[in-house]
């Protein structure tokens, strides 16, 4: 947790952005897995955590821009919570840790909101992505003007949260130190005959030993062309590439998101090396292009062009690389976006709506296959943290589909593409801070060139 004043300052900044507003920020309750007392590991809502800091269930925050007051609604732990869970901290004491002076029992929230509604005030709250939260809000606000109809609240929150304070950067870098260990451990363990789940288990052990949790479900697969492959049921074979996409939540709740692509034998064959180096060049260029004011869309397209040039050299694409990029044909090899914002959430703030986070009035989402998956397109701002994660993926079903549709057939050699069925995928991902004159890769260096990875894998 940060200093109490930092949470007060954040709430004050939100009040200034939304004069007169009454802003309701529900925290999370426990989420049962299979029966009420057996719960998923607790994860606080990130908006609540950003403005109210507290990492415990059962709280609702209220920010009043008319009176200047902050309120926390919740209950002191009863004797059962103390007996079973050791919870003893009273709400008022917790509130003090985040500079909130006003607290009230959770049961008082309905009254408080009813009075505000009777006084004609609209209640702003972020969209709910958990059914329990939606149900609670439906009960509290039934039929009243509430939510975020014109996106003002989402816009104001994004404008604040997307600029990271140095304390937040330090928190992410502490998470990245563990993430470096995770990735290097996976490289050491990767070898022909190893089972994917064994390696994921060992890496998870490292995360747990550090007192942390995965920030999202790890990807560790020799079938790296499946972009979010969550199965670990294979045995690694010589000649394969393994995509390992894994990150931790830091102790303070900030996510890391790192990908490395590991050759199972420790060595790339010549074609793998050619394509790996192309992805690395695309990533290096994209990182170098990051600076305040540059549209992330243009960084995506620049990375795509580097990948296209390499695929032209191998005869998979033919013709003018700029045309291959502009037409969208490039997406046969690179189907996703080059990155996204990262912070408390691995895809930061996407609960507020992907377009609210990644697009603005001047930058609209494209409908083109590939580009439509770009989560961030608007210009970068100083202090933003983003992932840079270009990749190449050979997806047999997609190649067959496009071939049958004769898509971009003047630019694509489908026979060559089909020869890459079984190649898998390559992704290289780092977390990057936008600085005044460029960018900085966050955290300690994690082996990334072919030589660096061979060095780690050789022990
Ligand atoms: Mn990512």
Domain ranges of the chain: 4-161, 166-458
* Residue range 146-200, pLDDT digits in tens: 789 899 999 999 999 999 999 999 999 999 999 999 999 999 999 999 999 999 9
Instruction: Report pLDDT for 266.
Output: 96
Q: How far is the CA of 97 from the centre of ligand 1 (A)?
A: 32
Q: Which residues surround ligand 1, an ion (CB under 5 A)?
A: 257, 387
Residue written as token pair 């004011």: 293
Q: Which of 326, 332, 336 is nearest to 305 (CA)?
A: 326
Q: How far is the CA of 79 from the centre of ligand 1 (A)?
A: 43
Q: How far is the CA of 357 from the centre of ligand 1 (A)?
A: 15
Q: Residue 86 burial (CB < 10 Å; 0-12/13-18/19+)?
A: exposed
Q: How far is the CA of 311 from the centre of ligand 1 (A)?
A: 23
Q: How far is the CA of 341 from the centre of ligand 1 (A)?
A: 9
Report the chain's mean pLDDT, rounded to a whole number.
96
Q: How far is the CA of 270 from the centre of ligand 1 (A)?
A: 27
The CATH code of the domain at 4-161 is 3.40.350.10
* Residue range 362-410, pLDDT digits in tens: 999 999 999 999 999 999 999 999 999 999 999 999 999 999 999 999 9
Confidence bin at 437 (pLDDT 50/70/90):
very high
Instruction: Report pLDDT for 323.
Output: 98
Q: How far is the CA of 155 from the centre of ligand 1 (A)?
A: 22
* Residue range 329-359, pLDDT digits in tens: 999 999 999 999 999 999 999 999 999 999 9
Instruction: Report pLDDT for 182.
Output: 98
% residues pLDDT > 70 (the chain)? 100
Rounded to 5 degrees, what are φ and ψ at 121? -90, 140
* Residue range 231-261, pLDDT digits in tens: 999 999 999 999 999 999 999 999 999 999 9
Q: What CATH architecture applies to the domain 166-458?
A: Alpha-Beta Complex (3.90)
Collect all residues with Cβ–Cβ distance below 8 Å to 267 and sequence separation of at least 6: 454
Q: How far is the CA of 340 from the centre of ligand 1 (A)?
A: 7
% residues pLDDT > 90 (the chain)? 97
* Residue range 59-107, pLDDT digits in tens: 999 999 999 999 999 999 999 999 999 999 999 999 999 999 999 999 9
Instruction: Report pLDDT for 153.
Output: 98
CATH topology agreement for domains 4-161 and 166-458: no
187 vs 304: CA distance, rounded Å: 27
Reading the block at residue 169, the tokens are 């950067």
Residue 421: pLDDT above 80?
yes
Strands 102-104 and 70-73: parallel
Residue 143: pLDDT above 90?
no
Q: How far is the CA of 342 from the centre of ligand 1 (A)?
A: 8
Q: How far is the CA of 286 from the centre of ligand 1 (A)?
A: 14
Q: Provide mean pLDDT across the span 32-46.
A: 96
Q: How far is the CA of 205 from the centre of ligand 1 (A)?
A: 22
Q: How far is the CA of 337 from the centre of ligand 1 (A)?
A: 9
């Amino acid at each position: 947790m940060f200093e109490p004043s930092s949470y007060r300052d954040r709430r004050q900044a939100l009040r200034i952005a939304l004069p007169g507003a009454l802003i309701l920020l529900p925290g999370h309750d426990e989420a049962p897995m299979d029966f009420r007392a057996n719960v998923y590991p607790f994860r606080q809502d990130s908006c609540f955590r950003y403005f109210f800091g507290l990492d415990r269930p059962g709280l609702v925050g209220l920010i009043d821009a008319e009176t200047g007051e902050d309120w926390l609604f919740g209950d002191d732990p009863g004797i059962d919570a103390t007996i079973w869970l050791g919870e003893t901290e009273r709400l008022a004491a917790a509130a003090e840790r985040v500079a909130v002076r006003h607290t009230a029992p959770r049961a008082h929230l309905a009254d408080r909101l009813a009075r505000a509604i009777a006084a004609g005030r609209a209640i702003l709250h972020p969209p709910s992505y958990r059914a329990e939260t939606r149900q609670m809000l439906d009960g509290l606000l039934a039929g009243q003007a509430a939510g975020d109809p014109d996106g003002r609240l989402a816009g104001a929150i994004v404008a604040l949260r997307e600029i990271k304070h140095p304390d937040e950067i330090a928190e992410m870098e502490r998470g990245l130190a563990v993430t470096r260990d995770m990735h290097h451990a996976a490289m050491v363990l990767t070898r022909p005959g190893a089972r994917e789940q064994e390696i994921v288990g060992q890496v998870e052990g490292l995360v747990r030993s550090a007192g942390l949790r995965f920030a999202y479900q790890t990807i560790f697969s020799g079938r790296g062309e499946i972009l979010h492959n969550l199965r670990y049921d294979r045995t690694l074979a010589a000649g394969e590439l393994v995509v390992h996409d894994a990150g931790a939540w830091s102790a303070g709740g900030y996510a890391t998101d790192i990908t490395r692509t590991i050759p199972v034998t420790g060595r790339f064959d010549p074609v793998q090396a050619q394509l790996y180096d192309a992805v690395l060049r695309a990533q290096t260029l994209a990182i170098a292009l990051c600076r305040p004011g540059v549209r992330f869309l243009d960084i995506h397209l620049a990375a795509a062009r580097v990948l296209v040039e390499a695929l032209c050299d191998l005869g998979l694409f033919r013709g003018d690389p700029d045309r291959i990029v502009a037409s969208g044909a490039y997406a046969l090899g690179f189907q996703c976006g080059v990155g996204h914002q990262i912070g408390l959430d691995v895809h930061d703030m996407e609960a507020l709506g992907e377009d609210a986070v990644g697009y603005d009035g001047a930058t609209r989402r494209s409908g083109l296959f590939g580009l439509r998956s770009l989560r961030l397109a608007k210009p970068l701002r100083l202090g933003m943290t983003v992932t840079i994660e270009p990749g190449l993926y050979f997806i047999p079903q997609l190649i067959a589909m496009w071939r049958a549709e004769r898509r971009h057939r003047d630019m694509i050699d489908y026979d060559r593409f089909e020869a890459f069925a079984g190649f898998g995928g390559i992704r290289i991902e780092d977390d990057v801070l936008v600085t005044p004159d460029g960018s900085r890769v966050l955290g300690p260096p994690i082996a990334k060139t072919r030589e660096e990875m061979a060095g780690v894998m050789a022990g």
